[in-house]
A and B are shown apart, each in its own frame.
Chain A
């Protein structure tokens, strides 16, 4: 399937790239999808669109990265950026739709677990600034280290920590009941 897409490369190089890409997709698909899903507000279809775009960009750039780690860092940066672009575009689209046609319900999202709680978390995350939301999701939900997120976001580690602190404060304030239930005291 991939041979047509790799017509520019000699067969051996193309095969090697294809194998690398298969491995790359297999090892990052789930995490990238989960990250995109959390950044776009819990929309399955949007998350899949976002990761497809990111994988296509990663495929084109595959030859430029010898190390898997640097490719992964670059790839997740693309995922974060694509998710942001998607959210921005959705905001514009919804604003125009509301202006012209009145309130339009969003596409149905996956309803599992506690849908009400999930919507509350999504809403609380959406109220954070872009950097706060991205830092919080990457570190506290996806398990990236501060150093990795610093590289991903192109910001100093101190700035990332500051975003994390503010995001945590805002979320504990917004979801105070949840913070109390889990044994914390909201500020």
Chain B
């Protein structure tokens, strides 16, 4: 890197003195030979470590992702169906259930009525039978 003097910004004498003073007072001590050797050794040691880490990193990342996917898929297989606190409705059962049965089974859960006369929901023939036995 060449440093032609004409590429530097022009400074007057006072500025040049000031800048020179800053540069002189704000500088590190030169490296001792022992420190230079230690610095070089630390650099070589890091250079040797780096390629191994670079080679291992993708492999480790792949293994970690594979383990994560396995854990997630296995845990979802053995987990019970999620409940959000609302009424649980079995859709398969619903298809074979008559509307009146469905109303009877889930009357309290699906309405805001606290107490309700379920008898009003029963079909006529059931009411007749119930009346025979219950009235006794």
A and B are partners in one complex rather than unrelated chains: yes
Q: How many residues of B contact A (CB 8 A)?
A: 36
A142 to chain B, nearest CB (A): 8
A61 within 8 A of B: no
Q: A1 an interface residue at 8 Å Cβ cutoff?
A: yes
Distance A72 CA – B4 CA, assembled complex (angstroms): 17
Interface, chain B (partner A; CB < 8 A): 1-4, 7-9, 11, 13-15, 17-23, 25-31, 36, 39-40, 42-44, 46-48, 50-51
Given A29-B39, A182-B18, decide whether A38 and B26 contact each other with a Cβ distance below 8 A. Answer: yes
Known: A25-B40, A184-B17. A110 touches B8 (CB 8 A): no
Count of chain A residues near B, Cβ 8 A? 55
Contacts A4-B51, A7-B51, A56-B46 given: A34-B7 contact, CB under 8 Å?
Answer: no
Q: Quick check: which of A90-98, A100-108, A112-120 contacts chain B, the rest being far away?
A: A112-120
Contact pattern, A 11-46, Cβ under 8 Å of B = 1, otherwise 0: 000000000000001000110011001100010100
- Is A99 an interface position by the 8 A CB rule? no
Q: Which of B26, B30, B42, B51 has the most CB of A within 10 A?
A: B26
A140 interfacial by beta-carbon distance below 8 Å: yes
Given A5-B51, A146-B7, A183-B13, 13 further pairs, Cβ under 8 A: A44-B28, A48-B42, A52-B39, A113-B25, A114-B25, A121-B25, A121-B26, A141-B22, A144-B3, A175-B18, A178-B21, A184-B18, A185-B14
